[in-house]
Amino acid sequence: MLALAVKTLGAIDRRETSHADRNELTNDLLATAAEVEEHERQRLVDEAVLLNLSLAESIARRYSGRGVDRDDLVQVAYLGLVNAAHRYDPGRGRDFASFAVPTITGEVKRYFRDHGWTVRPPRRVQELHAALAAASAEIAQRQGSSPSAADVAEHLDVDVSEVAEASASHECFTVASIDYRGTEGDDTPLAEAIGGEDSGFDRAEAIVALAGACRELRPRDRHILYLRFFRGLTQQEIAAELGVTQMQVSRLLARILSQMRRSLGLAPTARHDAPTTRRGGELPRQPAGSTGIGARAAA
């Protein structure tokens, strides 16, 4: 056993062990571990794990670049290697690598299934996505060309639509940043193409509602609304044009607005429904040509 340990540690230090030699050493270590006490067994299993770290790392590299940090993949592959070393039975074969590779790969795939999705699709889609690669490789080897979606669907006994859905789910591993500008850095970022809230919809809806209420007014009342909200005249200026007093204009506006609110099914907001006035009973003057909602409806 001492000679075996020295030989193994030397191989680990040099990192020059061939696949066949490493496999033979691993089997010898694990065969010996099966016959000794627990503390010695753990030491020999640990040596077998150290001897095969490169195997786990090669599997982790195969799955890198798919949206999961490479260091995390390596750690998961190491865990699969440890599990394989503890579960391996030398009495059933002399090829540890053939047993360890599926075990490590399965551990990495489970990690992708449980942690690798930025947007998590249904479980059936995840499982079908994992089966697509193996099925495509098998079909390609058999027929000598890349398989179509129909070929893969027939091989897996599923619908073509399910194959397309599982293939598209690959994008769920890594979502695109809205600030991404392309490989050259000069493309328009997605953030600038995303629409925002448009107040014009509320404005258009209000205009349509007010138009019906304005049509129920008498011509003189519509003219007063036009002067006040479209041309932006003050109450005093409206009174001068109509030949009445400013107080009468204020009362007319209160009555007109109250009538419009009733037409729209709105409750009165105050005892006087006219807009709030300032010094001298005047409304705040609006710029001439104002295009407010009331102005358009009144016009």
CATH of the domain at 144: 1.10.10
What integer best gives the mean pLDDT of the chain? 76
Q: Residue 123: what residue type?
A: R
Domain membership flag for residue 197: no
| 71 and 158 assigned to the same domain | no
| 78 and 7 assigned to the same domain | yes
CATH of the domain at 35: 1.20.120.1810
Give Cα separations from 273 to 88, 214, 225, 250, 276 (angstroms): 88, 16, 14, 9, 9
Token pair for 41: 């067994």
Q: pLDDT value at position 17?
A: 56
**Cβ 230 vs Cβ 298: under 8 Å:** yes
Last residue of a domain, which of 115, 134, 158? 115
Q: pLDDT value at position 251?
A: 93
Residue 293 pLDDT more than 60? no
DSSP result, 87-126: H--GGG-S-HHHHHHHHHHHHHHHHHHHHS-SS---HHHH
Range of the domain at 238: 205-298
Domain membership flag for residue 199: no
Domain membership flag for residue 101: yes
| 97 and 10 assigned to the same domain | yes
Read off the pLDDT of residues 5-24 as tens digits, 9 standing for 90 and up.
434 444 444 344 566 778 78
Q: pLDDT value at position 138?
A: 81
| 89 and 16 assigned to the same domain | yes
Domain membership flag for residue 193: no
CATH of the domain at 233: 1.10.10.10
Rounded Cα distance between 219 and 265, Å, is 22
Rounded Cα distance between 177 and 105, Å, is 30
Domain membership flag for residue 85: yes
Residue 283 pLDDT more than 60? no
Highest mean pLDDT among 46-55, 67-76, 92-101, 209-218: 46-55
Residue 56 pLDDT more than 50? yes
Read off the pLDDT of residues 112-171 as tens digits, 9 standing for 90 and up.
766 766 666 777 877 787 788 778 878 887 877 888 888 888 888 889 888 888 887 766
For residues 47 and 180, which has the higher predicted lDDT (pLDDT)? 47
Read off the pLDDT of residues 181-237 as tens digits, 9 standing for 90 and up.
666 666 777 677 777 777 788 888 888 888 888 888 899 998 998 899 888 899 999
Domain membership flag for residue 184: no
Domain count, the chain: 3
Token pair for 112: 């992708």
